[in-house]
Amino acid sequence: MASSGRYSKYIKIAMVFTIILAVTSIWYIKNNDKKFLADPNQLLADFSLHASSIDLEKLKSFGLPILIDFGADSCIPCKKMAPVLAELNRKYQGKVIIKFVDVWKYPEAAKGFPFKLIPTQFFFTSEGDPLLPETTLPFDVTAISRNEDGKHIFTTHQGGLTKEQFESAFEKMGMK
User: How many CA atoms lie less than 13 Å away from 8 in the CB half-sphere?
Assistant: 5
54: closest CA among 17, 100, 87, 95?
Answer: 100
Cite the active site residues.
Answer: 75, 78
Give the largest CA-CA distance in the chain: 86
Q: What is the DSSP letter of 130?
A: B
Strand order, beta sheet including 97-102: 50-51, 97-102, 66-71, 120-124, 152-158, 142-145
Task: Please state, in angstroms and rounded to a whole number, the distance separating the CA atoms of residues 83 and 161.
Answer: 12
DSSP H or E run through 144 = strand 142-145
Tell me if 65 sits within 8 A of 132, measured CB to CB: no
Q: What is the DSSP letter of 102?
A: E
